[in-house]
Structure 1
Amino acid sequence: MRFRDKVAVVTGAGSGIGAAVSKRLASEGAKVVLVGRTKEKLQQVNDDIASSNGQSTVFPTDVTDENAVLDLKQFVENEFGRLDVLVNNAGSSGKSSIRDLTVEEWDRVHNVNLKSVFLVSKVLSDLMIDSKGEDRSIVNVASLSGHKAGAKIPHYSASKSAVINFTKALAAELAPGVRVNSVSPGFIETPLTEDGLQNERFQSAIQRHTALERVGKPEEIANLIAFLSSSEASYMTGSDVLADGGWLIT
């Protein structure tokens, strides 16, 4: 088991990629702290992990609030005294033309997608930097939209491209004790995409423009994040790994 006796924190753990990552890390021995806004969703993931003999803890909180993140750090420190893996997955989206986009909507998306990555990394990295030779890892979830901007998602595209560059800056600062990488998923079956995926024209467009002719599964991104979080990726830091089914090559 790659994560036996390791401690992991996953934000946005209540559904989609975050839930899949949490289950994957727990299946390989990690003690996972499930972080998100909705206690009921986190509890369901916690129950699923327990049913597979994994270990996890529910910590409902708002990762865009500095005091709440400081409370999260205190909890992890008191319960485990260390942190080996951090996955910044909390995310939000929305559609709006630039002319109609409000400051409030811009701030909402950037707070969840970018500010939370900054805050959680800033605060929790204190538990990781004194690694004493052990491999410790942060993985930030960016997006295909951070590479290829799309109409009516300027706030989302901007936030995700910023996550990619923030990842590189953080990797430079935390080396050599902590590795920092990002993952840029393409179209994945998650609550953020379910409305669009119910539209046949949208599904058809994805099939036409994706080399693998399908959307991805959260578990496929979880596999990649587990690899980057493990010692198998011990020579990778400051990288962004695109997992888009071949969208950009078509």
Structure 2
Amino acid sequence: MPQTSEGNVHALHYREAKPSQGDSSRPVSELFRLDNRTVIITGALGFLGTTLAIAIFESGADIVCLDLSPTPNAANWNDVEDAAKKHQCQLSYLQLDVTDENAVSETFAKFVPSLRYPIKGLVACAGLSLNGPATEFPASSFRKVLDINVTGTFLIAQATAREMTRTNTTGSMVLVASMSGYCSNKGVDTAGYNASKAAVHQLTRSLAAEWGSRVEIPLIRVNSLSPGYIRTAATAESLQKPGMESQWTGDNMLYRLSTADEFRAPVLFMLADGSSFMTGADLRVDGGHCSW
């Protein structure tokens, strides 16, 4: 039994009822549906954010997209809007710096009253990677990476959990980590990024432990996604370095880079009821990179 810092044993009040058990009578197709719920996506204008938004609309959820830009400027934003219309889902976009605690609270206060359905999902994609030799890497850059990738992820998860608690709504969170939280990447100097993603793994486990069984809040499952190398505009510069393409493709068991669409099904699985007995886990989708 846990003890306080003073050494006094105290009892934590856990749920007596078994939470969110599976239902064998439900069709498998329903286990990946997200109807009658709202999902928040941070870093929504990135290559992964827009791809996941379209997939989440296809599964029936409304979405609140959050990112730094005052207006949505993703190259494929029209595709996101078209998907919302096609599937008769509600799409909202708001500017947000996830590292600003006050801004996070204020932004939630803006969009929550306009929601059709309760918030039951979060996909925290907002992140930053800065390269540079550790002997020369500025402390300010290191702090910025940690602030966005770790503190920002915590703040948005915290705000989402508070709203779920206010409405007494169960939910599922997907925190985007990386295979770099497990290993170092050959040919790239990203000590700060790697450290931050390892922290996201631990944050996932810690939040899952707090929010999975306490009676004072509804059941909230928290898992992380650890992508491997993804071929996008964001990785194009690194791939121009001589030998990097062959290095990255040869570093995993499938001998290729992934594409953003290959993370749709993993995220939908973790958000939806099909993963009802999964929390505090990391789903590594890395082509076998970490399994050599």
Unaligned runs of 5+ in 1: none
Unaligned runs of 5+ in 2: 1-29, 214-218
Residue 165 of structure 2: SS of its match in structure 1? coil
Q: Report which of the two structures shows the higher radius of gyration computed on alpha carbons.
A: 2
After superposition, residues 25-40 of structure 1 pair within 5 angstroms as 25-40=56-71
Which deviations, in whole Å up to 9, do the C-alpha atoms of 1:5-53 show, x marking residues without a partner? 2101000010211111111111111111111012444576553233232
1:16 is aligned, of 34, 40, 47, to: 47
Q: Larger deviation: 32-41 or 17-26?
A: 32-41
Alpha-carbon RMSD: 1.9
**For residue 146 of structure 2, what is the aligned residue in structure 1?**
110
Specify whether residues 214 and 249 from structure 1 end up closer, same or farther in structure 2 by C-alpha distance, changes over 3 A only. same
**For residue 13 of structure 2, what is the aligned residue in structure 1?**
none
**For residue 122 of structure 2, what is the aligned residue in structure 1?**
86
Q: Report if the CA contact (8 A) 1:183-1:243 is conserved.
A: yes
Q: Which amino acid aligns with 1:221?
A: F
2:253 counterpart of 1:222:
no
Matched residue pairs, number? Answer: 249
1:72 is aligned, of 104, 107, 130, to: 107
Give the Cα–Cα distance (whole angstroms) in 2 for the partners of residues 137 and 17 of structure 1. 18
Deviation at 1:207, TM superposition (A): 2.0
2:160 counterpart of 1:124:
yes
Q: Which amino acid aligns with 2:178?
A: S
Deviation at 1:98, TM superposition (A): 1.5
**For residue 203 of structure 1, what is the aligned residue in structure 2?**
245
Deviation at 1:211, TM superposition (A): 0.8
Which deviations, in whole Å up to 9, do the C-alpha atoms of 1:70-127 show, x marking residues without a partner? 1222123211273110111101001112211111101111111111111111122111
2:279 counterpart of 1:237:
yes
Deviation at 1:238, TM superposition (A): 0.1
Q: What TM-score comes out, normalization by structure 2 length?
A: 0.80
Q: Report if the CA contact (8 A) 1:37-1:60 is conserved.
A: yes
1:164 is aligned, of 201, 208, 218, to: 201
**For residue 92 of structure 2, what is the aligned residue in structure 1?**
57
Give the Cα–Cα distance (whole angstroms) in 1 for the partners of residues 107 and 58 of structure 2. 23
Q: What TM-score comes out, normalization by structure 1 length?
A: 0.92
Give the Cα–Cα distance (whole angstroms) in 1 for the partners of residues 72 and 243 of structure 2. 30
Give the Cα–Cα distance (whole angstroms) in 2 for the partners of residues 39 and 223 of structure 1. 30
Structure 1: 4+ residue segments shifted above 6 A: none
**For residue 145 of structure 1, what is the aligned residue in structure 2?**
180
**Identity, % of aligned positions:** 28
**For residue 189 of structure 1, what is the aligned residue in structure 2?**
231
